[in-house]
Amino acid sequence: MPGKGTPFPKGISGNPGGRPRQDPEVRALCEKFTPSAIATLAEIIGDKKAQPSARVSAAMAILKKTLPDLASIEHTGDGPRPFAVIPEVIETAAEWEAKFKPKTEH
């Protein structure tokens, strides 16, 4: 009998085919537009006239990639807020890409 939070019996996968492969063309397009997307997020964050919700959303999008553990932190409003280390400021999309783009081995 499956335990709490495990709807499948031990040894049985809920996703036997695994994660579907990403279309290489879609991935190439995403990689092409990543620097522009990051630059846009940075512009929104720096625009004091932008809606606060837009600035927070842009900041969270960047922080979730910079601090993967942040994605799993949800604050309920009870008790102290979780502590997170704020990353250094990265001014340009090129700096971001140089720092975080996965290195390929040859």
Distance CA 52, CA 58 (A): 10
Give the residues of the chain that fall short of pLDDT 70. 1-6, 68-88, 102-106
Token code pair at residue 41: 């997020």
- pLDDT tens sequence across 58-73: 988 888 877 766 655 5
Per DSSP, helices labelled H in 1-106 are 24-46, 52-66, 93-100
Q: Is this model's pTM higher than 0.95 or not?
A: no
Helix, strand, coil fractions of the chain, as percent rounded to 5:
50, 0, 50
Cα(99)–Cα(35) distance, integer angstroms: 12
